[in-house]
Amino acid sequence: MSSNLRNIYKSATLIFFSVFLIATMNQANAATASDLDRDANEALHLLYKSNPIAETLSKKARAILVFPKIVKAGLVFGGSYGEGVLIKSGKSNEYFNAVSASWGWQAGAQSYGYVVFLMTEQVERSLLETHGWEVGVGPTVVLMNEGAAKNLSTSSLKDDAYAFIFDQSGLMVSISIEGTKISRIKR
């Protein structure tokens, strides 16, 4: 591939990624606290309806971090963004955003939601006391798929946090929350 073609390809990719981030952040910044609370409650209801073990986990969790809608897009370089709510004792407590960046063989766009059940004081403290908690660094977060969820019982809970991805739409090869940076925001 010629040097000029590579530079054009890199420039197009960077422009795509920049436009995606600006559009996503502008859309997400429009959400009010009451919008996020409503969307988080709807997302939890949807998750509990499709995955009863998640509702069981909610009763044992110290807190629940709900991201009702994450938007992810990529063309070699990619990224995702969404805003969510920390629910403790049944009430919205604080608000967070989730941001990730990636590169590699990827193309497409999708949206999805995810919920992280914070089971231990260590993971809750890690979220609240840092200036950005990175999933996959520090406390153990187990991403639950349908098979793993069926084998989980309240007596076998031993990890710091359990995450469920739900309501996927769009076309992208995979989803991972590892490497996502979660930071507190004001609403």
| Packing angle, helices 33-50 and 52-60, rounded to 10 | 120
Residue 135 to residue 141: CA distance in whole angstroms: 7
55 has a pLDDT exceeding 70: yes
Residue 5 to residue 94: CA distance in whole angstroms: 47
In the Cβ-directed half-sphere of 121, how many Cα atoms lie within 13 Å?
A: 0
Contact 162, 117 (CB under 8 A): yes
The predicted model gives 18-45 an average pLDDT of 75
Number of other CB atoms surrounding residue 128 within 10 Å:
15
42 sits in which H/E element: helix 33-50
User: Could you give the dihedral angle defined by the CA atoms of residues 127, 130, 136 and 139, in that order, rounded to the nearest 10 degrees?
Assistant: -60
The token pair that represents 157 in the structure block: 């809970």
pLDDT value of position 95: 96
Q: To the nearest whole number, what is the mean pLDDT of the chain?
A: 78
pLDDT value of position 2: 66
Ordered DSSP codes for 100-140 = EEEEEEEEEEEEEEEEEEE-SHHHHHHHHHSSSEETTSSS-
Condensed to tens digits (0 to 9), the pLDDT of residues 71-85 reads: 988 887 788 899 999
Residue 40 to residue 65: CA distance in whole angstroms: 9
Record the pTM: 0.76
Condensed to tens digits (0 to 9), the pLDDT of residues 98-138 reads: 998 877 777 788 889 999 999 999 889 888 888 777 765 55
Cα separations (Å) of 1 from 6, 10, 12, 128, 145? 7, 12, 16, 48, 41
